[in-house]
Every structure is written in structure tokens, then in C-alpha cells.
């Protein structure tokens, strides 16, 4: 190796120049290892709403169920069809998109699949049922409640899931 007259500007060595120095700053530095933050998996609000919809639907169908020939059945409020509570659905007078009345027990009743889905709620007969059952003033108040911009918190939803799970268990044990 030859000794150079001008030493390396980075380390002071006389055997190489700055271009070949090991202490030369690299163009792309080595990435630092990232610390992995371990988080507890959180349940999303969407999943909580879905779970509450399922348990609330089950409660509504069981609430209106009665025993017929040893089987729990319920009656569709719009067409009067009697089927097993498992074959029926939770029909909403004001749609599920209106959160203040989405889980209101007075807004939800048992409907068959045909009325709830294919006849889009069968609203004319549903309105007549609501007025006969609760009265015109109550239906108007429910309409005002349905457009209220209040939002139910996720913590409240979790509490309601527990509450309605207990209610369903009580209804199934009867």
C-alpha cells in the first residue's frame, strides 16, 4: 500500500482518501429497527352495532312469540302469517338508518320475510297496525324522535348488548 501525502479528511489515515474511507457517510443510512407496539385488539363500533342488531332482533321476535303445538311461533304484524320465531324478522316502522329509533322496542315488531323485504316493510298495513296499537299521537311522537340527531355511544351499546342478552335468556327459559 502506498502512503499518500494528503491524509483522509474523515479519519486522518494516510493509506486512503475520503472517497474510500469506512467512516464515509452513506447515501442511504440503514433503517433503524422499529419498535413494535403491541396493542390489544379493539372491537370496532361496526361490529358492536352488528352484534347488538342480532341480539335485539332475537329479543323482538321472542317478545312477541307464543307457544303453539309445543313450538314457539309469532305472528307477522302486517299480514298475520304465523311462523316459527326463527323464520321471522325484526321489522322497523321507521328504518334502521334512523339511529334514535333503531333499537326502540315500540318501533320494532315481528314481520315475515315477504312483508319486511319484498314488500319493503308493507308500510300501509304497518301504519294501520301502529295507529291501532299505540294511537296517532304516539306514532307522531315516534316520528319526531326518529329525526333527533342524538347518537348512542359505543359504551352504551355494549351495556345494552348485555342487557338484551339477559332478556333473551329469560324469554327462552320460559
DSSP string over 106-147: TTEEEE-HIIIIITTT-HHHHHHHHHHHH-HHHHHHHHHHHT
Cα separation of 138 and 82, whole Å? 27
CB 64 within 8 A of CB 109: yes
Query: Which residue in the block uniquely carries the three cell numbers 359505543?
Result: 154
The pLDDT tens digits of the residues spanning 118-146 come to 999 899 999 999 999 999 999 999 999 99
Tell me the C-alpha distance between 51 and 165, whole Å.
10
- pLDDT, tens digit (0-9, with 9 covering 90-100), for 7-39: 777 777 777 776 667 666 666 566 677 777 777
Q: pLDDT by residue (tens digit) across 153-173?
A: 999 999 999 999 999 999 998
Cα 7 to Cα 124: distance, rounded to the nearest angstrom = 96
| Strand blocks (E) in 5-79 | 66-68, 71-75
User: Nine-digit cell at 96?
Assistant: 334502521
- What is the β-pairing status of strands 89-92 and 82-84? unpaired
Amino acid at each position: 500500500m502506498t502512503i499518500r501525502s494528503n491524509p483522509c479528511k474523515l479519519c486522518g489515515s494516510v493509506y486512503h482518501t475520503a472517497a474510500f474511507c469506512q467512516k464515509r457517510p452513506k447515501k442511504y443510512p440503514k433503517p433503524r429497527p422499529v419498535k413494535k407496539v403491541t396493542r390489544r385488539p379493539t372491537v370496532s363500533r361496526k361490529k358492536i352495532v352488528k352484534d347488538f342488531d342480532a341480539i335485539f332482533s332475537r329479543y323482538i321476535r321472542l317478545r312477541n312469540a307464543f307457544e303453539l303445538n309445543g313450538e314457539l311461533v309469532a305472528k307477522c304484524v302486517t299480514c298475520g302469517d304465523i311462523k316459527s320465531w326463527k323464520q321471522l324478522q325484526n321489522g322497523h316502522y321507521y328504518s334502521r338508518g334512523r339511529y334514535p329509533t333503531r333499537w326502540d322496542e315500540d318501533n320494532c315488531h315481528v314481520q315475515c320475510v315477504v312483508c319486511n323485504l319484498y314488500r319493503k316493510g308493507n308500510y300501509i298495513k304497518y301504519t294501520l297496525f301502529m295507529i291501532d296499537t299505540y294511537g296517532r299521537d304516539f306514532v307522531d311522537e315516534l316520528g319526531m324522535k326518529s329525526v333527533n340527531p342524538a347518537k348512542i355511544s359505543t359504551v352504551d351499546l355494549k351495556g345494552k348488548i348485555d342487557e338484551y342478552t339477559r332478556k333473551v335468556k329469560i324469554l327462552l327459559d320460559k
